[in-house]
Amino acid sequence: MDSRLFRVAKSGNVFLLRQLLNENPRLLTKLTPQGNTPLHIAVQFGHKGVVVEIYKRCGSLLTRLNSSGDSPLHVAARCGHLSIVDFLVREVLSAERISAEIGKTGKFDMLRQGNKVNNTVLHEAVRSGNRSVVQLLLRVDPKLACFENYAGESPLFLAAREGKKDLLNQILISAPSSAHGGSEGQTALHAAVIERHSDITEILLRENHTSSQKLTTMAGLHSIMLLSLETARRCPDSGELLDLNGRSVLHFAVLSGEMKVVRCVLEVAELQCLVNQADNGGNTPLHLAAIERQTRILRWLIWDERVDHRARNENGQSVFDIDESIRGTCFSYRCNIMTCIWRKLPSVSNRITGKKNPPCADQEAIARIQTYKRMGNTLLLVATLIATVTFAAAFTLPGGFNNDRGPKQGVALLESSKRLRWFIFSDAIAMTSSIIAACIIFWGAVINDESYVYYLFLIFCFWKMKCKINK
């Protein structure tokens, strides 16, 4: 494209444009490297006078597409220039009317044309967020709201995903039968839930109960408990909806580690059918909790009497078999979480097996824990001795005390020495650290065997700090 024409289109100077085109009308046939015509460029900069002048001189540019498949109207809708969109829409409709009369095209075919990704002008207007342009396009052709791009995204889906409530309301009002589709098989309602636009979700729930039946799966994924409950109330059979892998909202909640959603689903009467629901691989929510090492969720599911602890997947594995197989591939003893959980829930173990020991008791893990306990007992003894010695040292200061009668009787002889002050300071820190270490060891042994090693690591940190101070 000629650089002079580009600068004129950018500046909006119609007088210079006319002068330039009068000198060389063929400038309008030049293209940019991206295939943009002078009309594309003029529309992009938003100068209506320049757009009108170029169109009058070369009307065929109205339907020319750039390398992205965008017409000048696509560019105008994307940039949000209302006056230019209005002008181009009128010209497009006029051209379509003439084409329809001679049988070349149907009504609105040019207006509904998509670009390379099949985005219509309404898609571009919704993306730009210009409500006036969206209103204009829907007023001219409400059917624009029914088209989806190649990704399966409808204008309503884009408005819901971007949280543009005013545009979404406008589409629903102008085109009640608008498409709700989105990418990856989702709907506008899914997009609203995923992006946590609660106001838009409520609008879509009221608008279309059929779409709302699919909300529960995505709501569980993102821990929107209130929306899940509302969906279950509006659509009692929504719990039966599964994804392509046969997974329900409870499966998604377990996979995402959403403890609150798991509890929420377990408490909803309409969703009780999901407690032992198996996916296509035969895995129940309990199996997935063990696979994903979701300790809190696993503990909660085991405690629930409705959960079938003996359930096996297609590989014939129970939850204990899964835990054992994962433990065999990991180095940390924390990987074997079932042993710890069953030890904490003896009543559940007795209810199922009649034994106090877990079905897959790991003797090696128990032996390691006992080793840590013995180590902790030794450290506890050492910490107690240090605390005792440092406490006694505070009353037997180096250099002794003044025994002469007088005002300074009983005062340390080295009271003016800086080294004595450092001795008292380090002695106090050592005594305090030893007491804290002893308390932590005792607390770790009583509260939780599973995390005992981490209490010992904390003790080691205190120990190093004390040694550095004493130096």
Phi, psi for 288 (deg, rounded to 5): -65, -35
- Mark whether 308 and 334 lie in a shared domain: yes
User: Which pLDDT score is estimated for 203?
Assistant: 82
For 289-347, write each residue's pLDDT tens digit. 888 888 888 888 888 888 888 888 888 888 888 877 776 555 444 444 555 555 544 44
Written as six digits, the tokens of 444 are 């770790």
- Mark whether 330 and 416 lie in a shared domain: no
- Mark whether 344 and 414 lie in a shared domain: no
- Mark whether 281 and 356 lie in a shared domain: yes
Measured distance CA(460)–CA(462) in Å, rounded: 5
Measured distance CA(40)–CA(225) in Å, rounded: 48
**Cβ atoms of residues 434 and 388 within 8 Å:** no
Number of separate domains in the chain:
2
Last residue of a domain, one of 338, 361, 384: 361
User: Which pLDDT score is estimated for 324?
Assistant: 76
CA-based nearest residue to 263, from 283, 285, 243: 285
Q: What is the mean pLDDT of residues 197-204?
A: 80
CA-based nearest residue to 174, from 154, 206, 145: 145
- Mark whether 353 and 369 lie in a shared domain: no
- Mark whether 322 and 390 lie in a shared domain: no
Q: Tell me which residue range forms the domain holding 294.
A: 275-361
Helix, strand, coil in percent for the chain, rounding step 5: 65, 0, 35
**Mean of pLDDT over the chain:** 77
* Residue 53: inside a domain: no
pTM above 0.85, yes or no: no
* Residue 433: inside a domain: yes
User: Which own/partner contact pairs does 353-359 have at CB distance under 8 Å and 24+ positions apart?
Assistant: 358/320, 359/320
pLDDT band (50, 70, 90) for residue 360: very low
User: Which pLDDT score is estimated for 77?
Assistant: 94
* Residue 245: inside a domain: no
* Residue 145: inside a domain: no
For 424-461, write each residue's pLDDT tens digit. 888 888 788 878 877 777 776 655 555 555 555 555 66
Q: How far is CA 366 from the centre of its chain?
A: 38
* Residue 45: inside a domain: no
* Residue 457: inside a domain: yes
Measured distance CA(155)–CA(143) in Å, rounded: 11
**Cβ atoms of residues 456 and 375 within 8 Å:** yes
- Mark whether 376 and 354 lie in a shared domain: no
Residue 289: which CATH number?
A: 1.25.40.20
- Mark whether 407 and 436 lie in a shared domain: yes
- Mark whether 378 and 461 lie in a shared domain: yes
Tell me how many degrees the CA angle 315-319-321 measures, rounded to the nearest 5.
65
Last residue of a domain, one of 331, 361, 391: 361
Say what percent of the chain tops pLDDT 70.
70
Q: What is the mean pLDDT of residues 199-219?
A: 60
Of 3-7, 197-201, 404-408, the poorest mean pLDDT is in 404-408
User: Which pLDDT score is estimated for 211?
Assistant: 45
* Residue 137: inside a domain: no
* Residue 408: inside a domain: yes
User: Which pLDDT score is estimated for 352?
Assistant: 41
User: Which pLDDT score is estimated for 350?
Assistant: 44
- Type of residue numbered 463: W
Measured distance CA(168)–CA(208) in Å, rounded: 13
What residues contact residue 377 under an 8 Å CB cut-off, 6+ apart?
Answer: none
CA-based nearest residue to 279, from 309, 304, 248: 248
Last residue of a domain, one of 361, 381, 408: 361
For 127-165, write each residue's pLDDT tens digit. 999 999 999 999 999 999 999 999 889 999 999 999 999
- Mark whether 354 and 371 lie in a shared domain: no
- Mark whether 465 and 369 lie in a shared domain: yes
In the numeric block, the tokens 């180096």 are attached to: 398
- Mark whether 459 and 374 lie in a shared domain: yes
Tell me how many degrees the CA angle 347-352-358 measures, rounded to the nearest 5.
70
Say what percent of the chain tops pLDDT 90.
22
